[in-house]
Amino acid sequence: MSHTSSQPAPATFAPSGPLTGTVRVPGDKSISHRSLMLSALAVGESRVTGLLEGEDVMSTAAAMRAMGAVIIPPDGGGLSPDAGIGGGHAGQGGAGPDRLWTIHGVGVGGLLQPQTALDMGNSGTSTRLLMGLVASHAITATFIGDASLSKRPMGRVIDPLSLMGATFSPAPGGRLPLTMSGIVPAVPLSYRLPVASAQVKSAILLAGLNTPGITEVIEPVPTRDHSERMLRGFGADLSVEVEADGTRIIRLMGEAELKPQTIDVPGDPSSAAFPVVAALITPGSEVRVTNVGMNPTRAGIFNVLVAMGADLTFENEREVGGEPVADIVARHSVLTGIDVPPEVAPSMIDEYPIFFVAAAMAQGVTHAHGLDELRVKESDRLAIMAGGLARLGVHLDEREDAISITGSGGEPLAGGNGEVMIHAELDHRIAMSFAIAGLNTRGGLTIDDMSPVATSFPTFQAMLRDLAG
Ligand SMILES: O=C(O)C1=C[C@@H](OP(=O)(O)O)[C@@H](O)[C@H](O)C1
Ligand SMILES: C=C(OP(=O)(O)O)C(=O)O
């Protein structure tokens, strides 16, 4: 399933004039993963539309099937319950709001022993959340992944899940490949997150579902709250207490019974950030992105862009499946450099690569702090973005967990006839960010491999072509 199995797909991005039109981005990746996982644990049939049909979510689907859930894709009428991941995968085009996925769950505590290693491809979210699920089931599972995922730290979930009683044999450094055994009954835990991570929080809560008593996660810095919202939506007994300093205490009553749901997954704000920034920095552009999730724990990028002077309007604001949603209209704008403090980081953590491109085109200097987590994503996003932008002539100062970027004031970046080669490093967000940067260079740039975009935004290049007319 991993894009590493396919041929590299180099592509050149050069100025192509204003971007105009209306686009709908694929479904939210975080909500899509959780829709499949929680539906697979409910008793009965759940129905999901708007699911992101990208490789990361398909890795979750394959793993949940391997542990007993029946997951039927929209065009998968003839699929057997244990059908391989290839069945119905529409990652390269078929995705759409009307495509209905049907999931028959096994019930909390009902996951089965997988017969083969669980291939997580490029997906950190699949790996860490599924480790949480396995931790409180009496099963042993091996997790494998691509070269990027195999470098990422798993100690952050191994530590709390070990306290709950699970046992682990990871590769050196707490990495994949990793074999773990869950335990029944697991021990309920009260855990203060040492790192602002929704994946760690969610792993513990998912482990808590099949654990007797109350599992508690203390979150000093708020991170995306889809797990909390969705666990409640599926009928779990979950409460959130917010202390005076903003610390959140999340308590989940274990041995939960989840009821099947009908879910309409909103568009991914992390994907929407690409056409939005593209429109803001490309002269003459006006782009409407419809149906974008606006959960406040995710919307940091839009707030920061507005504070930089971005002409963004939020229309048709509504609620879809318990999540705020809006259509965003972005028009070319003169952006001004800004200071982005560390506490904003969790609400725009995946958007920093494209944000750095916006900063590179702004007037004046942008400072961003509290970026240590960027170093442990699909690539070291701080180093790779700084290196690539510097090669495009951008003045910047990269520090351990911060960066300062001096913008061009709207002038196109260097580049030239595509000969500046950017390596995507198996990182979809690096590939997409430099693709947008390429539209605002003098002569263009080439990205060695665009295939990683299939993990979160399979229709990215088609969308750009549409917008460029
Ligand atoms: O919980 C999630 O769905 C995610 C949490 C974030 O990771 P961290 O928990 O590592 O910050 C984010 O970067 C990732 O794309 C999705
Ligand atoms: C960090 C990301 O995803 P994951 O951790 O699931 O690989 C991302 O999509 O930017």
Residue nearest to atom 14 of ligand 1 (CA): 125
Q: Is the pLDDT of residue 119 over 90?
A: yes
Of 32, 125, 156, the residue with max ligand 1 atoms within 8 A of its CB, to mutate for a pocket test, comes to: 125
Task: Confirm whether pTM is higher than 0.90.
Answer: yes
Q: Please check whether residue 186 is in contact with residue 166, taking contact to mean a CB–CB distance below 8 angstroms.
A: yes
From the CB of residue 92, how many other CB atoms can be counted at a distance below 10 Å?
A: 12
pLDDT tens digits, one per residue of 229-271: 999 999 999 999 999 999 999 999 999 999 999 999 999 999 9
Same topology, domains 3-27+266-468 and 29-264? Answer is yes
Ligand nearest to the backbone CA of 273: 2
Q: Evaluate: CB of 199 within 6 angstroms of ligand 1.
A: yes
Task: Parse the chain into domains and list their residue ranges.
Answer: 3-27+266-468, 29-264
Exposed, middle or buried: residue 324 (CB in 10 Å: 0-12, 13-18, 19+)? middle
* 29 labeled binding residue: yes
| Ligand 1 close to Cβ of residue 350 (< 6 A) | yes
Catalytic (active site) residue 350: yes
Confidence of residue 81 (pLDDT cuts 50, 70, 90): very low
Give the Å distance between the CA of 199 and the centre of ligand 1. 5
pLDDT of residue 77: 53
Is 56 close to ligand 1, i.e. is its CB under 6 Å away?
A: no
Q: Per the annotation, does 115 bind a ligand?
A: no
Residue 52 has pLDDT above 60, yes or no: yes
284 vs 323: CA distance, rounded Å: 32
Ligand of minimum distance to the alpha carbon of 205: 1
At 92 the pLDDT is 34
378 C-alpha vs ligand 2 centroid, how far in Å? 7
Q: Which of 363, 385, 368, 371 is nearest to 430 (CA)?
A: 385
In this prediction, residue 416 carries a pLDDT of 81
- 3-27+266-468: which CATH architecture? Alpha-beta prism (3.65)
Tell me the pairing of strands 175-181 and 167-171.
Answer: antiparallel
445, 421 in Cβ contact below 8 A?
A: yes
Cβ of 198 less than 6 Å from ligand 1: yes
Confidence of residue 5 (pLDDT cuts 50, 70, 90): low
pLDDT tens digit sequence for 183-214: 999 999 999 999 999 999 999 999 999 999 99
pLDDT at residue 79 in the model: 43
Residue 94 pLDDT > 50, yes or no?
Answer: no
Per-residue model confidence (pLDDT) at position 96: 66
User: Which bound ligand lies closest to the C-alpha atom of 455?
Assistant: 2
Question: Where do the DSSP E strands lie in 152-213?
Answer: 167-171, 175-181, 190-192
With respect to CATH, is domain 29-264 assigned 3.65.10.10? yes
Nearest to residue 42, comparing CAs of 66, 68, 75, 63? 68
Expressed in angstroms and rounded, the spacing between residue 122 Cα and the centre of ligand 2 is: 8
Residue 91 has pLDDT above 50, yes or no: no
Q: Is 456 in the pocket of ligand 2 (CB under 6 A)?
A: yes
Is 47 known as a binding-site position? no
pLDDT, the chain, mean: 94
| Residue 239 marked ligand-binding | no
Is the C-beta atom of 123 inside 6 A of ligand 2? yes
The string of pLDDT tens digits covering residues 136-195 is 999 999 999 999 999 999 999 999 999 999 999 999 999 999 999 999 999 999 999 999
Give the position, in ligand 1's atom list, of the atom nearest the Cα of 156.
Answer: 10
CA of 377 to the centre of ligand 1 (A): 9
- The whole-number pLDDT of residue 9 equals 95
Q: Which of 39, 54, 46, 35 is nearest to 94 (CA)?
A: 54
Q: Is 331 annotated as a binding residue?
A: no
30 pocket-lining for ligand 1 (C-beta < 6 Å): yes
Instruction: Give the confidence band of 380 by pLDDT, cuts at 50, 70, 90.
Output: very high
Q: Is the CB of 267 under 6 A from ligand 2?
A: no
Q: Alpha helices, DSSP H only, in 114-197?
A: 124-135, 155-163
Confidence band of 76 (pLDDT split at 50, 70, 90):
confident
Distances from the Cα of 420 to the Cαs of 175, 396, 424, 440, 444, in angstroms? 33, 18, 13, 13, 8
Task: Please report where in the chains the tokens 């509504």 appear, as a residue.
Answer: 318
ipTM over 0.90: yes
DSSP 16-39: ----EEEEEPPBPHHHHHHHHHHH
What would the pLDDT profile of 326-375 be if each residue is shown by its tens digit?
999 999 999 999 999 999 999 999 999 999 999 999 999 999 999 999 99
Is residue 197 annotated as involved in ligand binding?
yes
Residues contacting 158, CB < 8 A, separation 6+: 131, 168, 170, 174
Tokens 């542990």, located at residue: 67
Contact 422, 411 (CB under 8 A): no
Q: Tell which atom from ligand 1 comes closest to the C-alpha of 270.
A: 15
Catalytic position from the list 119, 350, 427, 449: 350
